[in-house]
Structure 1
Amino acid sequence: MKIKFALAFLLLSLAFISCDDAKKKDNENETVDVNQTETETNRQEEIDYLAFPDDARVFFKNLEDGQEVTSPVKVEMGVEGIALDPAGDLIENSGHHHIIINGEYFELGETIPMDETNLHYGGAQTEAELDLEPGKYTLTMQYANGYHQSYGKRLSAQINISVVE
């Protein structure tokens, strides 16, 4: 009788341990799902803040492709269909200008570096003066959100200019 009782107790204990392990695994899976959901939500928020209206555009107001200019080069930056706001806050459908000297547009979501060829106008400026030596230049205007994340090719404009003495 004692052996049957001990055997029954052992089987019940093993069953309890198996159930407890299964619950732990379920809880672990739930944690992974929650983390995946949070990550997906964060990605979606980033994508939402990089969305902009179809009719939005940026353009050079005072310069044309192929134009000859003297230094300092005055650049008037235009934007339509999306708000112009200073850098620092992430505001939906909003951004500010950057000028890239002798470079291409930045892909959607790429952070624009700040250096001598990637100029930031995070104060929501719409005009700039560029001190350029005589020569040929490509100027790319790139719009980006408050965190300097590029809106991509669709919110960029590019021209070639020649700076003469």
Structure 2
Amino acid sequence: MLLPSLALGQGRTAPKDAYLYFVSPTDGDTVKGAFRCRFGLRNMGVTHAGDSFGNSGHHHLLIDADEPISPGEPIPQDRKHLHYGAGETEALIELPPGKHTLQLVLGDGMHFNFDPPLLSKKITITVSNASERHGQNLAHAHRRTGHLAARTARSAAQPSGADAPPPDPSKSAGAVDFIRNQIFGTK
């Protein structure tokens, strides 16, 4: 029973004006640590694996893959060939530091390449060193701590709640009062 389904998936053609591309990152970008990868597709629909709607498919992300993409062949599933069979159009990707190539391929409902394959342009990105990111986060934490210490010192110099003047009752106390004023025209 599985063989007829597989045979249906092989050799599907995509519209001639279909276009697969990266929304982000773009070719030559440098990213730090985990990054959001967004997929774009024009003149076709994105659907789930297993669906056999015409002019539709789902995304596959190829990472550092140099193997040729053959028409009508199944797309492998491994660390270099990530499947997004739930119809995802973006993913959080984490790669080791260094240069990497990324390419999208659209597969049909059965994970087969279209004939001819529908591929994005291959892009190259650089993932920066995680230890640099850790150093930047540490510096940022120190700056935040410095701001917090200055704010605490200012707070200590101001009168406490017992010494502060009572709030002005004519001023709105918050969002609930603002909404009440808008609905009922009260102050």
Q: Give the drift of 1:51.
A: 1.1
Partner of 1:86: 48
Matched pairs, number: 123
- The structural deviation recorded for 1:83 is 1.2
Determine which of 27, 33, 37 is the counterpart of 1:71: 33
Cα deviation digits, residues 50-107 of structure 1 (max 9, x gap): 1121110110002211111112021000001111110012222110000011014622
1:148 matched to which residue of 2? 111
Contact 2:39/2:89 (<8 A) preserved = yes
* Matching residue of 1:58: 20
Matches within 5 A, 1:129-140: 129-140=92-103
* 1-structure distance, mates of 2:117, 2:76: 19
Aligned partner of 1:24 in structure 2 is none
2:118 alignment partner AA: L
Residues 99/152 of structure 1: CA separation in 2 closer, same or farther (3 Å cut): farther
Q: What is residue 164 of structure 1 aligned with on the other side?
A: 128
Give 1 or 2 for the bigger CA radius of gyration. Answer: 1
Mark the runs of 5 or more structure 2 residues left unpaired by the alignment.
Answer: 1-5, 130-187
2:62·2:80 contact (CA, 8 Å) conserved in 1? Answer: yes
2:98–2:128 contact (8 Å) kept in structure 1:
yes
Unaligned runs of 5+ in 1: 1-41
**TM-score (ref. length: structure 2):** 0.60
Give the alignment's TM-score, normalised by structure 1. 0.67
CA RMSD of aligned residues (A): 2.2
